[in-house]
Homo-oligomer: A and B are copies of this chain.
Amino acid sequence: MTETRTLSGKDLAADIRSQVAADVKALREHGVEPTLAIVFATSDGGTRWYVSSIVKAAEKAGLRAIERQLPDDSTTADIAAELQRLANDDTVHGIILQTPLPVGVDGGALAALIPFGKDIDGINPLSAGRLVIGESGFAPATAAAVMELLRFHQVPLVGRHAVVVGRSAVVGKPVAQLLLREDATVTVCHSKTADLPEVTREADVLVVAIGRARFITGRHVGAATTVIDVGTNTDDAGNLVGDVDAGSVVGVAAALTPVPGGVGPVTTALLLQHVIAAARAVG
**A contact residues vs B (CB 8 Å cutoff):** 108, 111, 124-135, 158-161, 167, 169, 173-174, 176-177, 180, 183, 185-190, 192-194, 199
Interface centre among A125, A186, A188 (most CB of B within 10 A): A125
In the complex, A255 Cα to B160 Cα: how many Å? Answer: 29
Q: Which of B124, B126, B129, B190 contacts A185 (CB 8 A)?
A: B190
Q: Which of B126, B160, B161 contacts A129 (CB 8 A)?
A: B126
- A186 touching B187 by the CB < 8 A rule? yes
In the complex, A190 Cα to B158 Cα: how many Å? Answer: 11
Knowing that A133-B169, A161-B199 touch, tell me 14 more A-B residue pairs with CB under 8 angstroms. A125-B129, A125-B133, A126-B126, A128-B129, A128-B132, A132-B173, A159-B194, A161-B194, A167-B180, A180-B188, A180-B190, A185-B188, A185-B190, A185-B193
- A133 touching B160 by the CB < 8 A rule? no
Contacts of A187 in B (CB 8 A): 185-188
Contacts of A193 in B (CB 8 A): 159, 185
Contacts of A159 in B (CB 8 A): 192-194
In the complex, A130 Cα to B111 Cα: how many Å? Answer: 11
Can you list 30 contacts pairing A with B, beta carbon distance less than 8 Å? A108-B133, A108-B135, A111-B133, A124-B129, A125-B126, A125-B133, A125-B135, A126-B126, A126-B129, A128-B128, A128-B130, A128-B132, A129-B129, A132-B132, A132-B173, A132-B174, A132-B177, A134-B169, A159-B192, A161-B194, A173-B180, A180-B190, A183-B192, A185-B187, A185-B190, A185-B192, A185-B193, A186-B187, A186-B188, A187-B187
Q: Taking the nearest CB of chain B, how far is it from the CB of A138, in angstroms?
A: 12
In the complex, A208 Cα to B185 Cα: how many Å? Answer: 15
- B173 touching A183 by the CB < 8 A rule? no
In the complex, A161 Cα to B188 Cα: how many Å? Answer: 10
Contacts of A134 in B (CB 8 A): 169
- B129 touching A130 by the CB < 8 A rule? yes
Q: Taking the nearest CB of chain B, how far is it from the CB of A83, in angstroms?
A: 17
